[in-house]
Amino acid sequence: MQLPESFYRSRKLVDLVENQTSYELEDSALHIFETHLRANRVQLQFGSFVLASMFHGKKIMHLRQKPGFDFLPGESLILPADELMRIDFPEAREDNPTRCLAMEIGDERLNYTVQLMNEKMTRTDGQEWNLLDYNFHFTNDNSIYQILQRLVYLYTENHPSKDLFVSNMLQELVVRILQANARKTYTDNAAALAGGKRLAYIVQFIRDNLHNPLTIRELSNKACMSESHFYKVFKQEMGISPTDFINQQRIEKATHLLEDPAIDLTEVFLASGFTNRSYFNRLFKRQKGISPTVYRNRFIQG
C-alpha cells in the first residue's frame, strides 16, 4: 500500500516514535503513524472502533487477547473501542521507518451498516451480523486492499465532497471485514461447525476434496440449494465466490506442501487440485506475490 504525495507534502515530522498525522471527518478519522527509531512497549489507545493496517516495516503487538504477535505489511487488525495496545518496533530506523494507519469509525455509521446487512444479507445459519468485540488479525484480500488504498487517497485529498466519498467507501469496508471474519470463522472451525451450519459443512467438504474436481453444481447439491441461490448466499456471507474460495484453499494447501523440499513441485500442484502447471503458477504468484519456486527455495538448506 502506498501513501500519496499529498501526505508527504502536508505532514510534519515532529516525533521519531509514532509521529501522528491525522485527517478527521464528521464520524471517522484516519491517523498515519510513522516510527523512525527502535522502541519497545509504546502504548496507544483509541476511544472508538479502529481498523489498523500496516504500510511498511514490522511491529510486535501486545494485546489483552493476543499477546506478542508480528504485525506486517499487507495485514490488518480490528481493535474494539478502548483496547490498549503495547507496541514494539524492532526494526524501525530513520532511513527505514515503520508506517501504519489507524482508522476510527463512529458507532452510528457502524450500527447503520450492520443493520443494513441484517436487512438485506440474511445469513444461512440464522444468526445476525454483529460488530466485532474482539481482536481480528487478518491478511488483506484484494478487495480490502483496494478500499484501504482508495480511502487513504480520499482522506488526504482536498476535495469538497470528501465526506460523501469516504462514507460510501467505509460502508463497503465494514461489510467486507465482517464477511472476511465470517469466512475465517467457517474455515478455522469447519469441522466443529459442519453438523449445524450449512456453509461450514460446504467449507469442510471443499477442504476434504481439494484434490478432486469441484463444481458449483456438486456443491449446491450438497447444500440442498439451486446453483444460483447457492452462489449468491455463499458470496454474500463469505465475501468471495465459491470458485475463488476453492482456489484460495488450494493455494494454501500448496503453500504447506512447498515447505517440504522432499515433495516434487509437480506433485504439489497435482495434490492441491490443479491440473495445469501454468495456471497454478499464475494463481500462486497472484495470491502470494512470489512464484512457487521462489517460495520453495526459502525452505531448501543452502
CATH number attached to the domain at 5-184: 2.60.120.280
CB 82, CB 44: distance < 8 Å: no
Is the per-residue pLDDT at 240 higher than 60? Answer: yes
| Residues 6+ positions from 206 with CB-CB distance below 8 Å | 214, 219, 245, 246, 249
What residue ranges do the domains of the chain occupy?
5-184, 190-302
CB 242, CB 219: distance < 8 Å: yes
Q: Which secondary-structure segment (H or E) carries 284?
A: helix 277-288
Is the per-residue pLDDT at 100 higher than 80? Answer: yes
The per-residue pLDDT for 301 is 56
- Split at pLDDT 50, 70, 90, the class of 288 is confident
The per-residue pLDDT for 20 is 95
In the chain, what percentage of residues exceed pLDDT 90? 69
Instruction: Return the amino acid letter for 111.
Output: N
- Reported as a single tens digit per residue, the pLDDT across 15-66 is 999 999 999 998 899 999 999 999 999 999 999 999 999 999 999 999 988 8
- Split at pLDDT 50, 70, 90, the class of 250 is very high
Burial status of residue 138 (CB atoms within 10 A of its CB: 0-12, 13-18, 19 or more): middle
Report residue 118 as a C-alpha cell: 441484517
Please state, in angstroms and rounded to a whole number, the distance separating the CA atoms of residues 113 and 125: 20
In the chain, what percentage of residues exceed pLDDT 70? 99
Q: Alpha helices of 85-226 — where are they, by DSSP H?
A: 107-120, 142-156, 162-188, 190-193, 198-208, 216-222
Is the per-residue pLDDT at 160 higher than 60? Answer: yes
Q: What architecture is domain 190-302?
A: Orthogonal Bundle (1.10)
